[in-house]
Amino acid sequence: MRLVSDRGWVVFDTYVDNDVSAFTGGRARPEFARLLADIEAGRIGAVVVYHQDRLTRRPGEFEQFVEACQRNGVDQLVTVTSDISFGNDNGMLVARITAAVAANESARKRARILRKIEQNVAAGKPNGGANRPFGYEDDKVTVRESEAAIIRTVADRFVQGESLRSLVAWLQAEGVPTPGRAEAWRTTSLRNVLVSGRIAGLREHRGVVAGEAVWEPIISREQRERILAVFASRKRSGRRTPQRYLLSGLLRCGKCGGRLFSAARQTPQGKVERRYVCQSGPDHGGCGKLTISAVPVETWLTEAALYRLDTPEVTAALEGKHEADARHADAVAMLDAAQRRLTDVAEMFAAGDISKAEYLAARPVAEAKAAEAARVLESLATKDTLGSLVGNGTIIRERWDTYSLDRQHAIIRAILPSATIAAGSPGRGNFDPERVQPHWAA
């Protein structure tokens, strides 16, 4: 500001592109664009910057700036080291040379950084930067156990069927600090943590696993593949989280087989009654002839589901779980081998060891193997949830009221994929347990 006051000028505005380099490689610089707009509007008589390369390090942008100034009577660019007059040929020559030198230095610096990143990727080391990854200390290698325990808890609950929205609400309620400079947890930030190869001890580069990392994993490779399979399954099915009703999406009409939808009505006494109803019309396709009160059917099916978790029938039905675990391990191994093959053929092609034709022939085979393994993992993802709940019905019942609605729904869904509600009998109340026909997962 001293440069301005010494000349008797008045500051019109300040333009700061925080966290955006003056050598942007095409990235938007909103404040630089706003400066040009104010120059074009005739609001500015001179421009003051600390150094010319703080304005821009790209010769093209510098010429754009000069042309805007010359069109609108701005004849000076003032810095702490010099004043540049746009009407002085020698001054402009020096300014253009300065811009070219700054651009060249930025390009060289960027190349050095990229080389360092490539070296870190090959060695499985982390990059630099100020942001500490959640779950690790400032060195980005040492596990911070207090946060690692949270990651393991969240990963387990997500695989068991709980949604990102519910888990974010839990993190916020528990006061868990966010990674980086984020003010609060969001579903996007939690998703980024869960899908990251980092927490499984993998080094990623541009979103692709490049190999093993030097840091210790927080979760296993198998757990990460389960997480990815759950994300893939939810994306494919488009399943949304229930908001107010425990059995949303699980009940079917005994008359027409259509889905029951949650609905509420006001009773003559002025109270709101929650119900599940079969709705007719083009948007629902049901018969519209069946209704059941929500509270009693939710209570009855919850008790039945939690009781079933501790019965020998469920344990017997899950005797094949070891076979499923073996299939899961085989699928993870297949996926790992396919990903390594993709990396190998890409490196061989880049090194000139194989031709383009050989590369194009090898890549589809590896991609097909990876896709096949992903399909197997997705099909096995839902089996993990029930296996983790078996034998814990009593404990879950004791803690039931402390769980969010979303977590309760995930547990019920794992045990009870669906239930059919039959029509009520004349002369009986709205709820009759004989109307409910559960379809158990095991």
Model confidence at 170: pLDDT above 70: yes
CA distance 399 to 415: 17
- Reference 50, options 88, 74, 82, 87; nearest CA is 82
Q: Which residue do the tokens 């794992």 mark?
A: 414
- Reference 415, options 304, 337, 249; nearest CA is 304
Highest mean pLDDT among 91-100, 174-183, 327-336, 381-390: 174-183
CA distance 83 to 69: 15
269 versus 247: which is more confidently predicted? Answer: 247
> In this predicted structure, which of 191-200, 319-328, 384-393, 415-424 has the lowest mean pLDDT?
319-328
Residue 300's pLDDT band (boundaries 50, 70, 90)? very high
CA distance 305 to 439: 11
Q: Which residues contact 83 (CB under 8 A, 6 or more apart)?
A: 76, 77
> In this predicted structure, which of 18-22, 56-60, 182-186, 414-418 has the lowest mean pLDDT?
18-22
Q: What is the mean pLDDT of the chain?
A: 78
Encode 224-263: b = buried (16+ Cβ within 10 Å), e = exposed.
Answer: bbbbbbbbeebeeeeeebbeebbbbbbbbbbbeebbbbbe
> In this predicted structure, which of 30-44, 102-116, 247-261 has the lowest mean pLDDT?
102-116
Residue 182's pLDDT band (boundaries 50, 70, 90)? low
- Reference 239, options 162, 152, 156; nearest CA is 162
Model confidence at 342: pLDDT above 60: yes
CA distance 78 to 3: 8
The answer to whether the beta carbons of residues 440 and 200 sit under 8 Å apart is no
Chain centroid to CA 108: 34
Tokens of 258: 């259509």
- Reference 127, options 191, 214, 24, 200; nearest CA is 214
Cα torsion 198, 145, 176, 243: sign: positive
Chain centroid to CA 265: 37
List residues bridging with 263 in a β-sheet: 275
CA distance 45 to 306: 76
Residue 345's pLDDT band (boundaries 50, 70, 90)? confident
Give pLDDT, residue 23.
45
Q: Which residues contact 8 (CB under 8 A, 6 or more apart)?
A: none
Give pLDDT, residue 301.
93
- Phi, psi (degrees; rounded to nearest 5) at 92: -70, -35
CA distance 163 to 74: 57
Tokens of 159: 């695989």
Find the mean pLDDT for residues 321-329.
Answer: 58
Give pLDDT, residue 327.
66
> In this predicted structure, which of 169-183, 317-331, 335-349, 360-374 has the lowest mean pLDDT?
317-331
Give pLDDT, residue 253.
94
Model confidence at 120: pLDDT above 70: no
Tokens of 403: 């769980």
Give pLDDT, residue 88.
63
Give pLDDT, residue 239.
54
Model confidence at 136: pLDDT above 80: yes
